[in-house]
A and B are shown apart, each in its own frame.
Chain A
């Protein structure tokens, strides 16, 4: 029996289903109308940054397997969306990271040696060995501080962006998170506050299909993650996150609009987490290897290389030389980092507050006179 619907209940339909911005086709050629038309040198820089990210990921995973570092959380397969979006930020803009964007940190100029020092938590680690590897901080590079909770950076980015705007700057803040974090309260409050406060923030959702072992379709009943922008009055867009030029073009446009006060944006970057969640995870326990193999066909580096070929900008010999140089640079950084001492015992007690209060001084003294103090400098 059919009844006439009196109450206008609507089943949500996706506003985004078929709309995914791409620039580079499978053959490596660009769609001219969407191409950001970057100078060849800049395209090459982006490509090299992606390759460098891949090499570092691969080596750090190996180091962890060898027991030389405790942990790494990588970005295998996600290089294009990370580098493309980071490159779209202007020098005066800020990046609030999740924990998977060391590529963006290095793009910003953070020295590789400092990053590797962080992996070892040694005395020259910028965060003094106080956090796990990949939990760096890059204030000098307009880059935030990493914490492990998945969504807390989002509301912080809103407050930071709002403050920058209040101070009369045109600074824009981008904030990274995975699609799993769109389920967290910080995503909803962050999007809501950003919309209400007109904050110049670009919400960069790396939809890499997996939140540890949970696939993206179990994360939401929305058709797409971009749809979530509608509820908060935040304009949204989906982009092929394995296409570095498309990601660059989309994020750049959002940045330029935000800088003019046209508010926050949500960018859903479609990509795939080729590796495990981190070195502590074995994805063979929950996903089929042919799924991973099919995503390898969309490898952003392969597509990037095809595009360079269409520009005739990069030879196999140059590629090989660049990879070798990067590996050598990394190897030297690892060797140096491994030789550096641990942070001093005092660093455990300092910096909890601006001035160390009596109870921490008392505990520091106990520790420094304790049975294992001699093993430390």
Chain B
């Protein structure tokens, strides 16, 4: 089985589905000849041509609006937004249009579209190449939001997303793009949207993360194990609709919860997760749930490793939560 990094796995998913289904269209800035600034779409232009891999003018609102039109016609567009920090000119088209077509038209129209976009920091990109805007889209009725942490999940989730009849935001953790290699089948396989994965079992504390922070959570789990704390690590994979059952089941076992995300704390997705767990497992909680997140500041350049909720911040949170005595 070939070893792939996340860039290659996403590329493999796109290539697979473009071969399967001629209605799948890739469009965006620089996605054609050069294969995208991260080379995720490399080679697709040569294989499928310029009317299936389209270099668009530089306007995110135009990319998404045009992709919506294609989807309304019956195609399955996969637009790329070069960095998720640049998604905001398209916000209106995503939240007021793509997300609402099915509902507002009484089911006459649907928008089967996957918006791929690199997310997150740690690549020396500064404020405009590092943000994590997922909660803005989770807050919007009608969207699904996916964020794989590794190459294998990325391929399987992207194939599911393209075949899904609802619009999907597909956040690719750019810090992981070339950092991890693993076995990824050449053949097609899917991973269902809406299913989290317990990637490490434990007894004392549950830690929920996704994307690049999953690896930080796993490193912290290893670290606290040396101090006799057994952490259960959940990779959310799909952020919305969230697999709340997997989280609640784990919290019922451990009684303790730590949520990790790069996005700022205020109204970050951790706030919603914490509320849901409190609603559904209040009596099982043995310690105050904790969020380890980006600060409520703009994303900084020089001090980005002090902004991110990395292992050095997750480990003490796990220890404190696991050892908390009311």
A interface with B by C-beta (< 8 Å): 125-128, 130-131, 135, 137-140, 144-145, 147, 149, 152, 154-164, 166-167, 185-186, 188-190, 192-193, 196-197, 351-354, 357-359
Contact = CB atoms under 8 A, between A and B. Distances in A.
Nearest to B71: A159
Contacts of A135: 104
B67 to A, nearest CB: 6
A125 B105 CA distance: 10
A99 to B, nearest CB: 12
B298 interface: no
Interface residues of A, dominant DSSP:
helix
A193 B66 contact: yes
B101 A145 contact: yes
Interface string B60-102: 0110111111111111010000000000010011001100111
A189 B108 contact: no
A5 B67 CA distance: 45
A125 B108 CA distance: 12
13 contacts: A126-B105, A147-B104, A156-B69, A156-B72, A158-B65, A159-B66, A159-B67, A166-B51, A186-B62, A190-B62, A190-B65, A193-B62, A352-B102
B23 to A, nearest CB: 9
B311 interface: no
Given A152-B97, A160-B73, A189-B59, 12 more contacts: A126-B105, A137-B106, A145-B108, A147-B96, A155-B65, A155-B66, A155-B69, A158-B62, A159-B70, A186-B93, A353-B142, A358-B241
The 7 closest A-B pairs by CB, nearest first: A159-B69, A155-B65, A189-B62, A163-B73, A357-B241, A137-B105, A159-B66
Contact of A139 (B54, B70, B109): B109
A199 to B, nearest CB: 9
B110 interface: yes
Contacts, number: 143
B107 interface: yes
Contacts of B106: 125-128, 130, 137, 351
B92 A160 contact: no
B289 interface: no
A185 B93 CA distance: 11
Given A155-B65, A155-B66, A189 B57 contact: yes
Given A145-B101, A155-B61, A358-B241, A351 B72 contact: no
A164 B73 contact: yes
B166 A353 contact: yes
B144 interface: yes
A152 B92 contact: yes
A229 to B, nearest CB: 16
Interface string B265-309: 000000000000000000000000000000000000000000000
Contacts of A152: 65, 92-93, 96-97
B61 A137 contact: no
Contact of B75 (A145, A163, A185, A353): A163
Contacts of B105: 126-127, 137, 139, 145
Contact of B72 (A125, A126, A138, A159): A159
A53 B65 CA distance: 30
B128 interface: no
Contacts of A131: 104
Contacts of B77: 159
B104 to A, nearest CB: 5
Nearest to B245: A358
Contacts of A159: 65-73, 77
A343 B141 CA distance: 20
A167 to B, nearest CB: 8
A304 to B, nearest CB: 33
Contacts of A189: 57, 59, 61-62, 65
A162 B103 contact: no
